[in-house]
Amino acid sequence: MTTTRKKTAGARLERYRRKRDFTKTAEPRGARARRRTRALRFVVQKHAASHLHFDLRLELDGVMKSWAIPKGPSVVPRVRRLAMEVEDHPIAYNSFEGTIPEGEYGGGTVMLWDRGTYEPTGGGGAAALREGYAKGKLDITLHGERLHGGFTLVRTRGEGERVQWLLIKRTDEHASRAKQLVTSETRSVKSGRTMAEIAKDGLTD
pLDDT digits (tens, 9 = 90+) for 13-33: 888 888 888 888 889 887 655
* Residue pLDDT, tens place only, 37-49: 589 999 999 999 9
Which residues neighbour 68 within 8 Å (Cβ) at sequence distance 6 or greater?
A: 47, 53, 54, 55, 83, 84, 86
* Residue pLDDT, tens place only, 169-181: 999 999 999 889 9
Q: Break the chain into its structural domains and give their ranges.
A: 3-18+37-201
Residue type, 177: R
Look up the pTM and report it: 0.87
Rounded distance between C-alpha atoms, residue 8 and residue 63, angstroms:
9
Rounded distance between C-alpha atoms, residue 165 and residue 162, angstroms:
10
